[in-house]
Amino acid sequence: MRVEWALRLKGVEYEYIEEDIYNKTPLLLELNPIHKKVPVFIHGEKVILESFIILEYIDETWKQFPILPRDPYDRAMARFWAKVAEEKVMMNAWRSICTQFEEEKEGYLKHAMESLEKIEEVLVQGKSKFFGGEKIGYLDIALGWMSYTVPVWEEVGSMKIVDPILFPSTAVWMENFRNHPVIKDKLPPRDETVVYCQRISKEIGARMAAARKG
């Protein structure tokens, strides 16, 4: 979705090819033998992998509507918070939903919350509609998954992740992002996402339990 959002913001035409993670195409396995996962971005004869790396490539190739800030320090901060959101918030919230062990559930959620607090601070200090200011930028695109996935995860995991009382700015930002004209009609349908998350989280939970047994 990040790749699509960036291309749409820049007005670059593209073709979207759906991949079923349960039945990967030979094309995917050929183009991404290391990770065997989407997104894979094909531009002419060039193949680029990993969503954050694709975003930088898109921003360097199509200069209109820049998504990374201009200033080197602001760029560094956008990249840093994107990584924190990915490795700390997303990873821990997801593990919290998947795990079959009650005591792990709380621990993972606590870790996710600690990093979410820092991201809330970034928004509070920025005082604008998006992380990128008045328009969507790199960090908004990187964090965009939260705007539609968190409500689904909260339902699937029977937990509150972004409590609007604890994270008021994040809650408003999620709303702003979801309602942006370029994003609005490109979000996956909620019901399908719930079913998908239920299925995947159960499978991963079982795998996590098996790994713990060694």
DSSP H helical ranges for 67-133: 72-84, 91-98, 102-126
Task: Work out whether 42 is an interface residue with a second copy (CB under 8 A).
Answer: no
- Count of residues touching a second copy (by CB under 8 A): 26
Task: Work out whether 61 is an interface residue with a second copy (CB under 8 A).
Answer: yes
Task: Work out whether 202 is an interface residue with a second copy (CB under 8 A).
Answer: no
Task: Work out whether 34 is an interface residue with a second copy (CB under 8 A).
Answer: yes
Cβ neighbour number for residue 50 with a 10 Å cutoff: 16
Task: Work out whether 29 is an interface residue with a second copy (CB under 8 A).
Answer: no
- Token duo for residue 104: 């792990």
**Dihedral sign, Cα of residue 118, residue 120, residue 121, residue 126:** positive
Choose among 149, 132, 11: nearest CA to 78: 132
Considering only 3, 6, 9, 84, the residue that binds a second copy (CB under 8 A) is 84
Task: Work out whether 30 is an interface residue with a second copy (CB under 8 A).
Answer: no
Task: Work out whether 49 is an interface residue with a second copy (CB under 8 A).
Answer: yes
Segment interacting with a second copy, rule: CB under 8 A, options 57-65, 120-128, 161-169, 189-197: 57-65
Task: Work out whether 8 is an interface residue with a second copy (CB under 8 A).
Answer: no
* Shortest Å, Cβ 50 to a second copy: 6
Instruction: Report the distance separating Cα 140 and Cα 4, nearest Å.
Output: 13
DSSP H helical ranges for the chain: 2-10, 26-31, 51-61, 72-84, 91-98, 102-126, 138-143, 145-156, 168-178, 181-184, 190-213
Instruction: Report the distance separating Cα 208 and Cα 108, nearest Å.
Output: 13
Binding mask 104-143 for a second copy (x = CB under 8 A): -----------x--x-------------------------
DSSP category for residue 20: B
| Sites of contact with a second copy (CB under 8 A) | 33-34, 43, 46, 48-50, 53-54, 56-57, 60-61, 72-73, 75-76, 79-80, 83-84, 88, 115, 118, 212, 214
